[in-house]
Amino acid sequence: MKIDTLVKPLMESIVAITIGVLIGAIVLTFSGFSPIEAYKALLDGALGSTYGIAMTLSSATPIILTALTFAISARTGIFNIGAEGTVYFGAIAAIILTNVVGNPLVGLLGGILLGALWSLPAAFLKVYRGVHEVISTIMFNWIAFYTVLYFVLGPLANPNDPNKTIEIPTSARLPLLMKGSELSWAFIIAILAAVISYYILWHTVLGYELRASGYNERAARYAGINPKRAIIWSFILGGLMSGLAGATEVMGRPPSYAISQGMANIHGYGFDGIGVSLVGRNHPIGIIFSGIFFGILKAGATAMQIEAGVPLEMVKVVQGIIVVAVAVPGLWDLIKKVVRR
């Protein structure tokens, strides 16, 4: 039974990837581009060299963490899309604290704690006022965006470089795993976070309560589990992960080690994480592999433009088609769970 449980999602994902690649090839062909050359360039850029592999893993790092935010909540029956705003606060906390105490551990802990705190308002609104988490987290994302933007443009603006905030001190930056690339210890931290999430969800009492509440809230309550407590914990754990994503992104991503003006370098990771989680079937271990898959798409995009001559807009279209196709099975599972509840 356990083997079937593992094989079935894997086969569905492989079929979905194949369908997405074929549809993307059709779109490229009708747009006047060679799908063979385009996909070859994508794979060469993402996996054809040590540097390409490093960039793939680096691109996968933040979206693995934000995917864990969505996955933990989804396992609890919650559709939490607030990782985007939490990433902003995790990043700004790391910049502030490391410039006060030049220690990487302080920056990581600051991002984690502020991420958890920022998740609590949406959790309390859900539990005590019945406010749907999709509505509240969307609103909190915008509050987070403009709050952090104020610090980026104002108190934390870099006097020597108008394009970014003050930098993470050298003493607080995460060491690189490969010199000359953007791959740092942030990737190792993301993998550890996924493994810890798996252990919590499947090997602790708290994890059992989260999954039981997500599967059938009424039965969980009958068994003595408090669904409200489970919801609050799912938001807290999710906030820890996406806050960590923001902190590691500014502490381990050269060359800027800062937040760029307009927050372009930390924007969108929360929403990308939703797709990564769905592709990974909301399972922490599956998220590691789906995050690397998304990293391949991101790292290979530049090579598609340069080597195959595919415009950026068309690259995004093909990527979107593949992502949607691959996410459908996971989304369908989530819909069935919601309908069953």
Indicate the domain borders of the chain: 2-340
pLDDT of residue 341: 61
Q: Smallest Cα–Cα separation from 265: which of 88, 98, 95? A: 88
pLDDT of residue 338: 64
Q: State yes or no: pLDDT of 46 exceeds 50.
A: yes
The CATH class of the 2-340 domain is mainly alpha
DSSP secondary-structure letter at 263? G
Range from 20-24, 49-53, 197-201 carrying the lowest mean pLDDT? 20-24
DSSP letters spanning 121-182: HHHHHHHHH---HHHHHHHHHHHHHHHHHHHHHTTTB-TT-TTBBPPPPGGGSPPBSSTTSS
84 neighbors 269 (Cβ within 8 angstroms): yes
3-state secondary structure of 69: helix
Q: Smallest Cα–Cα separation from 284: which of 55, 66, 56? A: 66
Q: How far apart are CA 135 and CA 237, in angstroms?
A: 20
CA 175 to chain CA centroid, nearest Å: 21
Rounded-to-10 torsion of CA 56, 62, 68, 73? -140
Q: State yes or no: pLDDT of 315 exceeds 70.
A: yes
3-state secondary structure of 257: coil
pLDDT of residue 1: 40
């991420």: which residue's tokens?
Answer: 115
Q: In the chain, what percentage of residues exceed pLDDT 90?
A: 65
Phi and psi, residue 184, nearest 5°: -125, -175
pLDDT of residue 5: 56
Residues 6+ apart with CB under 8 A from 109: none
pLDDT band at 84 (very low <50, low <70, confident <90, very high): very high
Residues 6+ apart with CB under 8 A from 35: 24, 25, 26, 28, 29
Q: Which two tokens stand for residue 68?
A: 């864990």
pLDDT band at 3 (very low <50, low <70, confident <90, very high): very low
pLDDT of residue 308: 84
Dump pLDDT digits (tens) for 159-194: 998 889 999 999 999 999 999 899 999 999 999 999
Q: State yes or no: pLDDT of 4 exceeds 70.
A: no
Angle at CA of residue 288, ends 173 and 297, nearest 5°: 85
